[in-house]
Amino acid sequence: MKRDADEAVAALMKPMKREDVTDLIAFRKLKKAIKWAEVARKVGQSKEWTTAACLGQMQMTKKQAETVGRIFELPQEAVLILQTVPYKGSLPTAVPTDPLIYRWYEIVNVYGTTIKELIHEEFGDGIMSAIDFSMDIRREANEKGDRVRVEPFRRPVVAGQQRQNVGDLLPVVR
């Protein structure tokens, strides 16, 4: 008995995973020459949040996922996956090998204990939220060549509150 070619391929396919969706979005972004800021405007979020969500690090609402699905011509299965809670942390190795990501790792290794000490001195047993964290990435002109400026958005902090989120305490990286 012969099978239809589409049936044969479908039988071999495994269920789509979040990594598959991320790869598909990255490929379609490249193919369509779309900027993250353009996607973010349509999604209604910052370019930083939208990029993280499209790279599999944030959960989208149904409306956001459907918007991304239309932009990147994703199958319905991918749109559903974008609405699930992700397993966060996308680095393939414990110590990053990508030079840019490694610099962030280096900042945490060099300044991590300093940041922790200063947060505890200022706020007591405070923590910084990575879930409710937001940032703005921009170009900053410099006579030695443009620099990257990463600024977290400021949040109000209640003095004396234990285990509070202090997401505005990261240094500006230039």
Residues 65-120: tens digit of each pLDDT: 999 999 999 999 999 999 999 888 777 788 888 888 898 888 888 878 777 877 77
pLDDT band at 8 (very low <50, low <70, confident <90, very high): low
What the chain holds in terms of domains, given with CATH numbers, is 14-81 (1.10.260.40), 93-174 (3.30.1160.10)
**Structure token pair of residue 75:** 């199958």
Q: For residue range 121-137, list pLDDT tens digits in order.
A: 777 776 666 666 678 88
**Cα atoms found within 13 Å of the Cα of residue 106, Cβ hemisphere only:** 8
pLDDT band at 3 (very low <50, low <70, confident <90, very high): low
Q: Which of 68, 40, 28, 19 is nearest to 137 (CA)?
A: 40
Q: 83 and 60 in contact (C-beta within 8 Å)? A: yes
Catalytic residues: 103, 106, 129
Measured CA distances, 25 to 16, 20, 52, 169 (Å): 13, 9, 12, 32
Point out the least confidently predicted range of 45-54, 98-107, 131-140, 163-172: 163-172
pLDDT at 146 over 70: yes
pLDDT at 44 over 60: yes
Amino acid at residue number 99? P
Q: Which of 87, 69, 85 is nearest to 77 (CA)?
A: 69
Q: Which of 68, 101, 103, 100 is nearest to 83 (CA)?
A: 68
**Whole-model pTM above 0.75?**
no
Q: Kind and range of the H or E element at 62?
A: helix 62-72
Q: What is the pLDDT of residue 64?
A: 98
Q: Which of 80, 100, 25 is nearest to 55 (CA)?
A: 25
Q: What is the pLDDT of residue 158?
A: 40
pLDDT band at 16 (very low <50, low <70, confident <90, very high): very high
Q: Which comes out higher in pLDDT, residue 161 or 87? A: 87
| pLDDT average, residue stretch 22-35 | 96
Query: Rounded CA gap, 152 and 169, in Å?
Result: 8
